[in-house]
Amino acid sequence: MDDDMLRCVTEQGFAARTLPLPLYVRAHAEVLVPAADAGERLDLRAADVPLLDVAVAADRRGALRQLVERAAVLRIIRSGRDSQDDPHDSRADARDGSPPAVGAGDSHDEAVAHAIYQELARRRAQSGIEKGTLITGRDQADAPEGVTLRGVDGRIDCYLLGETAGVPAVGAVLRLDRLERPLCAVVCDLWERRGVERAVQALLREFVVTTLPRREATDRAPFPYGDFHDVVAVGETDFGTLGPLPPRDETGELRDRLRLHGHRASVRVLGPADRTALVACRLEPTAKAEPSTESEPAKRPTTGTEDDWRPRDVAALGLRAPRQLSLTYERDDVRIGRVYHENSKMRTAYGTLPVVDIAEMSPPARRLLGQAYRDFGHARRQYPMRPAGRPRLLTLDQVVRRRRSWAAMGDGELTRAELAHLLTLSYGTTGAAVAGQDLRLPLRATPSAGGLYSSDLFVLVDRVSGVEPGLYYFHPGKRLLQLVDDERTLAEVAEYTGYRERAGEAAAMVVYVGAFRRNQWKYRERGYRTVLLDCGHLAQSVVTTATSLGLVAHPMIAFVDDYFNAYVGVDGVEDAVLYLTLLGPRRTGDEAA
């Protein structure tokens, strides 16, 4: 259904884009932008995106419905400037100098009701608001479907402001110490509970507008929910006492109340009847009469001509989008990632993970948990990685300040002792934990989900003294480098990275392989997340340790997956290369870089 609303925006010659909100604003925001800014493309220039209007609601559909209405109002404003004799332009409608109210909805009646409410709210705000009945007993933070501000230094108060043409008016006031004056909004609604929610949404729309950067002031459409400065409470009423249900025949009830108070609604259809209903509405005076006992069906004017529906240019709101709105993408570009993230969530409503009690596992199964490694025991070359003595390490403060991925590398070699220290301190076995009565599980220098150690380290050696070039596996338990392949050089492999020249400078390359089966038996879909997290922890350990040894460590994710998977010898499904880190000596004279 969101697509219908979005289509109605685009058919009026505009586009809608999602506006990122601060985390303390719990709501959904959409912005109306020119059609040229429709695509959510990555714009490295961070170009300005003019905002024609802003809508805030509890969900995307509600915000898009508001944008449909605002787009129509802006079209009417422009058509009033350009058209001299069109009987349907804003001059014919705007007898008081303002454009008509516009409503959108899933049905004609719903659209008419929205338009009438907006027209009544505008009149109520213009009539001056000085006092109202404070609504108490409503905790917005407990309403998951609502919108609110969280953790801010201020408050939102809602009031009953009497009636306009027999329809209740609800106001909302946001008072923040850092605002020059309170922000206010008023709406009209037969159902007062819904009126409160709409008033808060309208109020947060004004708050969001105040947070956006300003452009040069231009013509702007009037605020659809009215505006006033403040209101004084003259009484209180509990939110729970407000009507629990909306009227069954909302448009009929509206029409009867308008007639009773000497008004009738003049409605004009703006959009195709087979899509989202869109109407413009004016309230006109008429002789007062008692409400009818039976509601007559709403009179539906014929749809306007194709010329009436043609998109027109409009004036901007006078705002520009925050810079991050340009750094975006098409939804389809990340759809699979979103699906993965959704399916890897842990939930409390139902069991998503098997219950694992190590004590109840068989002894062979428990021992298997402690064998989180591969073993190339028959490799024709193996190098012990057990350095003698303690290395001279930089302090943590020096490491943090000195670490730079793009620090210049020298032409020299790494020593075998440096590589041994690096591998041992980042992923070597550092202790053991008791699991049951008959098993001691090895612990390592880097954390891992469930202690399952789903990452493996391979090292492609090019210039390491005492180690012949080749691809080696680091066995963390035996502390060995075990030869895997020596047919390709680092220079050849570097051709399949995104930074060929930089990779060619390295003396060695660390290749991280995720072993998904190693933890997905326990964590299922969420196990994919834990494998990536384990890899990140390990990579940080490698980078930090390398820097403390005075080396350069350059993490890299730019590589051809299938090539590296085939090179290491994994299938890319059950096991896959996830990350690389280039290692090299720091160039002489670059100690302070």
> According to the model, what pLDDT value does residue 130 have?
83
Residues 6+ apart with CB under 8 A from 330: 39, 40, 41
Determine the Cα–Cα distance for residues 216 and 213; give it in Å rounded to an integer: 10
Handedness of CA 448, 454, 460, 461 (dihedral sign): positive
CB atoms within 10 A of CB 212: 18
Count the alpha carbons within 13 Å of 437 in the hemisphere toward its beta carbon.
1
- Here the tokens at position 266 are 């003049």
Longest dimension (CA), the chain: 103
Determine the Cα–Cα distance for residues 209 and 183; give it in Å rounded to an integer: 11
> According to the model, what pLDDT value does residue 291 have?
44
Q: What residue ranges of the chain have pLDDT lower than 70? A: 1, 40-46, 80-97, 139-146, 215-229, 272-274, 287-317, 326-329, 348-355, 358-359, 366, 435-438, 590-593
Helix (H) or strand (E) holding 571: none
- Please say whether the beta carbons of 584 and 546 come within 8 A: no
Residues 6+ apart with CB under 8 A from 53: 31, 32, 67, 70, 71, 74, 221, 317
Q: What is the pTM of this model?
A: 0.72
Which residue(s) pair with 441 in the sheet?
433
Determine the Cα–Cα distance for residues 303 and 36; give it in Å rounded to an integer: 28
